[in-house]
Structure 1
């Protein structure tokens, strides 16, 4: 079977996507699969690389240049321009290993689904919900899942009556607060604020990146993460803890990611873990999740569990939490990819049957 590995993209997470793609290529079982790299450049061009039957030597080779032929050489890798519909090939599956806006937000998933192409990961709805912090928080709130208090702000509302929104923030939240663009995958535009002056500045700054932002209550808590895998039959990893968060944005280099310390397994109570699994299961079901996700939680000193977010396409490189959690469970990255392929084929077959019956 052939895996089309889709990576790159027109967003701030471009470099993280390349890191994930390189890690997957090094982990995949080439005795079962061949891999065809599909690079979306920063200008939006789709380039198809030469089919791989063994891992690449360096991640730099994944930055394809447009050419008349697809080749991998020591210093130059070229790909031929293609259209998305060219990926509709029998006995193949697309792995959209892309992060951030115009990638894991349902846009790529919707494109592949409309073309009738099987793909790994969550579908259109789950991807869109997971990417938008306002929509996901409102949805999870209706489901009864505890979260940090928040105030959503739209750019038009701010321009019309910023004083009312400031009063709402200060009336329902306490300083410190965090201001976040609602639909960016990285920490670009995220700021901590401790007073009204810095709140105003942070809101104005966030609107430079998105027209929808979130003001969230600062929480003194540990950051605990769980990995999810499956559809109706969900599998959970052991919990992992981020000990010193290094914000991952377009300026984050490899050295910074290496410095981020993870503790696996995290030392938490059985009660807290049970709550996390309960909330993750409810949240993933209501957003129609199927495939993979990383659920991020806050755990307070009183053992209260708050759902922070669900990431529907976590980073896959060697420093990332998601693959390390599964490795600690005895599931290698190669086995994990194999499971994801099976889930993708299963969902595609089910969708074909539903379409035939409609």
Structure 2
């Protein structure tokens, strides 16, 4: 039986810098590697100009960085990246391999799984190690996003993609040491069937709520698009951003850039205030790193109310306008002082 050892992650290059989700994977990968008592490795693909940033991955928790740096890798091509990653996995044989659930990660991971005939669990939000057999328990929302499924792989490496924003980013420690290897990729593996004809920058999202320190979010309990719109006024007063549940976005009250949860983004603000949100699992999954959670709902049994640090049982249709009025008054008094 082949010997698999080590935890590896896929390091993503955006074209100008290392994607921030790489540091989140390094943090969780370090924890898993320590629990398994094995090294943590990074498979990194990109152009030569990524060299200096790739070397610094050692400072963020990696024991070994395998960096394939070639001009052909300056532009992302699904087949090219996948065949190189698959080649490295076959050679190094990690027991765990984690990819980010970004556009790039979701393109590469399934191709690698197909090439190597491996299982793959998508959109994980947590991991555990089963000590008796070193199995990776891969946890993700399932069955309509109403339960948490605990999944194990029958193949090795055990592979999964990880939702961005679920884990905190690793901290930089310049005293750390490790091994940086410029990985030599055979020329035949540097060939792609994809030809890039033209590059066009995509429009930036209307809003990036993942970086907000204060988020005010609304659900169907607000009752109307007009009342939901008042959240933007409140967010401005609090120097924050507006979040939304999936049903609200589907109703057209907000764009999907505001959606929090399985179908949207994960957020980790210092303050989150949810108005009229019941707290279905697919929304709660997106609230993994909130410091202080406030819920306003007429139903005290709503899941978000039970999880909240501060639960206000009241009609959101009355509370939201009053809250805005009070904040405006306080802000006016502060300006007068």
Larger radius of gyration: 2
Instruction: Assess same fold via TM > 0.5.
Output: no
Q: TM-score, normalised by structure 1?
A: 0.29
Larger relative contact order (Cα-Cα within 8 Å, sequence gap ≥ 6): 1
Q: TM-score, normalised by structure 2?
A: 0.30
